[in-house]
Structure 1
Amino acid sequence: MTPAGEGVWHPRYAWVTAGAVAMIFLAATQALAVTTVMPLVSADLDGATLYAVAFAGTLATSVVGMVAVGAWCDRKDPILPLATAVAVFVAGLLVAGLASTMPVLVAGRLLQGLGTGGQTVALYVVVARVYPSELHGRVFAAFSAAWVVPSIIGPFLAGVVAEYLHWRWVFLGVAVLTGLAFTMVYVKLHGLSLRTDDPSRAPIAARLGWSVLVAVAALALSLAGEAGGLAPVVIAASLALIAFASRPLLPRGTLLARPGLPSVILMRALIAGCLFGAEIYVPYLLIDGYGFSPTWAGLGLTAAALLWALGADLQGRFGDRLGNTRIALIGVTLLSSATAIAAVTAALHLPPAVVIAGWALAGGGMGLMYPRLTVLTLAYSTPRNQGFNSSALSIADSVGAAASIAVLGLTFVALTATDAGFPAVFAIATGLALLALLPGLRVGRAHEQATQPR
Structure 2
Amino acid sequence: MSSNSQSIFSPHYFALSIGIILSVMAVGFEGLSVTTIAPSIAGDLNGLDLFGWIFSTYLLAQIIGTLVVGRIIDRQGLAAPFTIALLLFIVGLIAAATAGDMYTMIGSRAMQGLGAGAIMTCVYTAISLSYPDELRAKILGAFGTAYVLPSMLGPYVAGLIADQWSWRFVFWGILPVLIVSALLSLPAFRKLKTEEIQEDNGAASIWMALLLTIGTGIFLVGLSMLPIITGFVLVIIGLVLMVYPLRKLLPKGTLAFRKGMPAILATRGLFFAAYTSTQNFLVLALIDVKGITPSQAGLIVASAALSWCIIAYLQGRWDSADQGRGRHTRIILGVLLLAIGIAFVFWIPVVTVTVAVIGQIIAGIGIGLAHPISGVVAFSQTGEGGVGKTSANLQFADSFTPGVVIGIGGSILVVCQAAGMSLQSGLIVTMGFHLLLIVMSLLASTRITPAPK
TM-score, length-normalised on structure 1?
A: 0.87
Q: Which residue of 1 aligns with 2:364?
A: 363
Superposition pairs of residues 48-447 of structure 1, within 5 angstroms: 53-99=53-99, 105-147=105-147, 149-174=149-174, 176-186=175-185, 188-189=187-188, 192-224=190-222, 225-226=224-225, 228-289=228-289, 295-319=295-319, 320=322, 323-345=326-348, 348=349, 350-415=351-416, 418-419=422-423, 420-446=425-451
Q: Tell me, yes or no, if the aligned pair for 2:128 and 2:379 is still in contact at 8 Å.
A: yes
CA 1:44–1:303 in structure 2 vs 1: closer, same or farther (change >3 Å)? farther
Deviates more, 1:280-289 or 1:67-76: 280-289
Q: CA deviation at 1:15?
A: 1.3
Residues in 1 aligned to 2:99 and 2:431: alpha-carbon distance in whole angstroms:
31
Distance in structure 2 (CA, Å) of the matches to 1:49 and 1:405: 20
Q: How far apart, in 2, do the equivalents of 1:108 and 1:352 lie?
A: 38
Write the letter of the residue equivalent to 1:426.
M
Bigger mean CA offset, 386-395 vs 235-244? 235-244
The AA in structure 2 aligned to 1:445 is: P
Q: Is the 8 A contact 1:36 1:294 kept in 2?
A: no
For residues 402 and 197 of structure 2, what CA distance do their matches in structure 1 show?
31
- CA distance in structure 1 between the aligned counterparts of 2:432 and 2:162, rounded to whole angstroms: 30
Q: Which amino acid aligns with 2:179?
A: L
Deviates more, 1:112-121 or 1:85-94: 85-94
- Return closer, same or farther for 1:92/1:298 CA change in 2, 3 Å cut-off: farther
Alpha-carbon distance between aligned partners in 2 of 1:298 and 1:168, rounded to the nearest angstrom: 23
Structural RMSD (CA)? 2.9
Gapped runs of 5+ residues in structure 1? none
Residue segments in structure 2 that go unaligned for 5+ positions in a row: none
Deviation track 1:94-132 (CA, whole Å, cap 9, x = no partner) reads 444455666654443332221111111111111222222
Q: Distance in 1 between matches of 2:358 and 2:48?
A: 28
Q: Which moved more, 1:263-272 or 1:105-114?
A: 105-114
Q: For residue 304 of structure 1, give the secondary structure of its aligned residue in structure 2.
A: helix
1:83–1:186 Cα contact (<8 Å) kept:
no
CA 1:440 to 1:54, structure 2 compared with 1: closer, same or farther past 3 Å?
farther
Q: Distance in 2 between matches of 1:400 and 1:250?
A: 13
More displaced 10-residue stretch of structure 1: 88-97 or 304-313: 88-97
User: Which amino acid is 1:185 matched to?
Assistant: L
Is the Cα contact below 8 Å between 1:60 and 1:398 reproduced in 2? no
Residues 202-232 of structure 1 deviation map (CA, whole Å, 9 limit, x = unaligned) = 4311001000111111111111133731212
The Cα offsets for residues 221-253 of structure 1, whole Å up to 9 and x where unpaired, read as 111133731212222232232221111211111
Which digits, 9 at most, give the CA deviation of each residue in 1:16-37, with x for residues without a partner? 1111111112122223323444
**How big is the shift at 1:53?**
5.0
Q: 1:416 to 1:26 in 2, by over 3 A?
A: farther
Q: Aligned partners of 1:429 and 1:56: how far apart in 2?
A: 21
Distance 1:354 1:102 in 2: 41
Aligned residue type for 1:226: M
Note the alpha carbon deviations across 1:148-195, whole angstroms, 9 max, x for none: 543443233233234444444333432x234433343345436x4212
Q: 1:91 corresponds to which letter in structure 2?
A: V
Which residue identity is paired with 2:30?
Q
Query: Can you list the C-alpha shifts for 1:42-82, whole angstroms capped at 9, x where unaligned?
Result: 67778777666544442332121112211121122312211
Residues 260, 202 of structure 1: alpha-carbon distance in 2 compared, 3 angstrom cutoff: same
Aligned length: 444
Scaled by the length of structure 2, the TM-score of the pair is 0.87
Work out the CA distance in 1 between the residues paired with 2:93 and 2:28: 14
Contact 2:337/2:366 (CA < 8 Å) preserved in 1? Answer: yes
Letter in 1 for 2:188: L
Encode CA deviations 1:260-297: one digit per residue, 9 max, x unaligned.
Answer: 11100111111122122333334444444455565554
325-334 vs 156-165, which deviates more? 156-165
Structure 1 residues 97 and 132 mapped into 2: Cα distance closer, same or farther (>3 Å)? same
The one-letter amino acid of 1:113's match is G
On the 8 A contact 1:303/1:356 being kept in 2, the answer is yes
- Percent identity (aligned): 28
